[in-house]
Structure 1
Amino acid sequence: MNRNVLSRRALVGVAVAALALAGCGGGDDDSDTGTDTGTDASAGATDYSNLSGELKATGASFPDAYYQEVITEFKGVASKLTVTYNATGSGQGKKDFGANLNDFAGSDSTVKDTDGVAAGSYLYVPTVAAPITVSFNVSGVDKLQLSADTLAKIFQTDIKKWNDAAIAADNPGVTLPDKNITVAHRADGSGTTNNFTKYLVAAAPETWKLKSGDTVDWPASTQGAQKNSGVAQLIKSTDGAIGYVDFSDAKASGLKFAAIKNKDGQFVEASLDGATAALNGATIKDDLTYDPLNAAGATTYPITAPTYILVRPSYPDAAKKDAVKGFVTYILTEGQALAPEVDFAPLPDGLKTKALAQLDKIQ
């Protein structure tokens, strides 16, 4: 159990008790006297105890550490509701959603026509964001800086050696070995791949040739692995490897990651502060999708990715609807405090408010 779980639960208990006492004060209160299911996002509900049943979800591995932490904590306030999240990758999560095999899906990428999800059958709910690290394992190299053009050339294998002149130009004074580069990437359909390649399209448009998507046509000499954790393990076990891995898995695996040159010309290492700076500069669309990639700002980490939960505009029965709304409400309220503990950036207040309002559309 996370070292902060017990103290956090105690604080939640105090807060709930305080709210209950506040609700008991004054017999002239005109509030609604109907049954409180704890799912009214606009009212900032805190009582989830009436939620029951089972929710099954699949999708992105990028936010898996966060969702698992939230599920563990949520069980303490909604003991009659079981929530499971299987990190199958964004692509599979969207396919499952389109086939009605899950109650909600996790995705780091937006829905495309090829995902098998019908138009009008989903709503985006942003949850957290995090850096995508460029992690590396090169003997004798502890610090690395990479510009977008150099990064693009490495991942499409135009650059094959660690002592290439382009890498050396990004790293003055660093001794780079005459060693082959092994590029590691996701083998499964992945929102992490989508966001990483979208960054390269935006930041290195004249250099990057592989386009963007949940999958791309990687050169044959590269190596693929399943999920972020698989890519992390591949990098860790291969001297000379480089790959893209979510911040949480990169830290958990003890990987080193490069500082990336941002739009303002500053080399910035992946961090939650850098991700938060990117979030604050992102434009939010009407459907609540947003793009913090390659955002401006001296302290911005340029490969910062959003992640979403796909929910249905309607559910077959009231209990299922209340369960989905209740769990996602918890993610957007109490659950936001858990995000930094597992290396994710919480949503800015304005976006969080819009995400909560999105839940009111569920019937």
Structure 2
Amino acid sequence: MNRNVLSRRALVGVAVAALALAGCGGGDDDSDTGTGTGTDASAGASDYSSLSGELKASGASFPDAYYQEVITELKAAAPNLTVTYNAVGSGQGKKDFGANLNDFAGTDSTVKDTDGPAAGSYLYVPTVAAPITVSYNLSGVDKLQLSPDTLAKIFQTDIKNWNDPAIAADNPGVTLPDKSITVAHRSDGSGTTNNFTKFLVAAAPDTWKLKSGDTVDWPASTQGAEKNSGVAQLIKSADGGIGYVDYSDAKASGLSFAAIKNKDGQFVPASLEGATAALNGATVKDDLTYDPLNAAGPTTYAITAPTYILVRTTYTDAAKKDLVKGFVTYILTEGQSLAPEVDFAPLPEELKAKALAQLDKIQ
């Protein structure tokens, strides 16, 4: 654990202790506010110590590193709250949510009619965003650039060898080996797959033929694995491997990743700065979904993906509702400062304010 994390945890403990002492000398000013973790939490540090109980969640593996960090950090401020997040993929998380098997779900993709949750039963709460890297394992090649059309041809196996003329055209002066390409992808229903293929639909519309979705009909010669970490392992195990992996898992696995040609024609590598530039240019819909993929701007990273928490519009258990609101409030306030430490981009201030206001709609 790095020194910044240790220092922050110490400060959280001091803040909670100070709030508790202040509460001992005061009256019942918060008696009507339940947990005291409403949307005014963004104004300053909140007292989460009254949160007590258990929350079960499942869903996207893309934001798992961030949610695990949030859960760990919140434990110091809310020792009686237990939150379990099971990274089973966006598709399964949405199904679990529709079947009332979890208290909230993580997803990187929007809900479709076939996913399980009924229309009107859920709200989207944006949390963070991050790059989807195009990670590769290619001996002797330290830097790689890929345009959307070349990327589309690689992943639908129209391009089969690393020294293909299309890859060479994207990488002038680079010696590319005469080696077969091994394409790795998600085998489970995945928001990462959804966003990666949505990018190819948008950026290479005349080339990409496999459409988009949590699952797509990959060519038989490609290899699949569950979760982002599984795809990362496939890439590491194959000299000549390439796949799409979230930024956090790609870095943790020590993978190399390509610079991707963005809408302005610039080859930009995956970074939080590039993701933030893409976020700032995204249009937010009324339901708070938004699309930073293939965003304009010379410094944007082209394959930047959002992620959301699905919360219920109505919780029959009032105590459970308060726990969900308290946990998500922490994510959107104090928890935003944790995002860069685990390779995620925090939300822009305007979107964060809208996300906090979304929690007031929960009944």
TM over 0.5: yes
Output the TM-score relative to the length of structure 1. 0.95
- Residues 273 and 22 (structure 1 numbering): CA distance in 2 closer, same or farther, change over 3 Å? farther
Show the counterpart of 2:285.
285
Secondary structure in 2 aligned to 1:133? strand
Equivalence for 1:49: 49
Aligned to 2:183: 183
- CA distance in 2 between partners of 1:270 and 1:15 (Å): 35
Structure 2 CA distance for aligned equivalents of residues 322 and 67 of structure 1:
19
> In the aligned structure 2, how far is the partner of 1:47 from the partner of 1:296?
40
Aligned length: 361
**Local SS of the residue matching 1:4:** helix
SS of corresponding position for 2:242: strand
Query: Which residue of 14, 36, 39 corresponds with 1:38?
Result: 36
Indicate the larger mover: 40-49 or 30-39.
Answer: 30-39
Report the CA distance shift for 1:283/1:325 in structure 2 as closer, same or farther (over 3 A): same
> Match of 1:129, SS?
strand
Q: For 1:116-163, what per-residue CA distance to the aligned partner results, in whole angstroms no more than 9, with x for missing partners?
A: 111111100000000000000011111000000000000000000000
- Whether the 8 Å CA contact 1:51–1:319 is kept in 2: the answer is no
Matches for 1:1-363 after TM superposition, within 5 Å: 1-16=1-16, 34=32, 36-44=34-42, 46-363=46-363
2:41–2:329 contact (8 Å) kept in structure 1: no
| Amino acid of the structure 2 residue aligned with 1:355 | A
Taking structure 2 as the reference length, what is the TM-score of the superposition? Answer: 0.95
CA RMSD of aligned residues (A): 1.9
For 1:357 and 1:112, how far apart are their aligned partners in 2? 24
Query: Greater CA deviation, 286-295 or 10-19?
Result: 10-19
Asked if structure 1 preserves the Cα contact closer than 8 Å seen for 2:13 and 2:76, the reply is no
Checking the alignment, whether the CA contact within 8 Å between 1:145 and 1:170 is kept in structure 2 is: yes
Structure 1: how far apart are the matches of 2:58 and 2:31?
A: 37
Gaps of 5+ in 1: none
Going from structure 1 to structure 2, the CA distance change for 1:50 and 1:24 (only over 3 Å counts) comes to closer
CA distance in 2, matches of 1:266, 1:214: 28
Q: Distance in 2 between matches of 1:87 and 1:43?
A: 27
Q: 1:57 to 1:199 in 2, by over 3 A?
A: same
Q: Deviations over 1:82-119 (max 9, x none)?
A: 10000000000000000000000000000001101111
Question: Is the Cα–Cα contact under 8 Å of residues 52 and 319 in structure 1 kept in the other structure?
Answer: no
Asked if structure 1 preserves the Cα contact closer than 8 Å seen for 2:13 and 2:77, the reply is no
The separation in 2 between residues aligned to 1:35 and 1:107, in whole angstroms, is 29
Cα distance in 2 between the residues matched to 1:92 and 1:35: 34
Aligned partners of 1:56 and 1:32: how far apart in 2?
A: 27
The more displaced of 253-262 and 6-15 is 6-15
Offset at 1:12?
2.6
Distance in 1, matches of 2:195 and 2:224, equals 17
Unaligned runs of 5+ in 2: none
**Cα distance in 2 for residues equivalent to 1:144 and 1:355:** 37
C-alpha distance after superposition, 1:5-58 (max 9, x if no partner):
320022234545676789899x9x996554651221235471111111110000
CA distance in 1: counterparts of 2:277 and 2:134, whole angstroms: 18
Summarize the Cα distance change of 1:293–1:14 in structure 2 as closer, same or farther, 3 Å threshold: same
Q: Is the 8 A contact 1:42 1:357 kept in 2?
A: no
Aligned 8 A contact 2:182 2:240 in 1: yes
Moved more, 16-25 or 250-259: 16-25
Equivalent position amino acid for 1:285 in 2: K
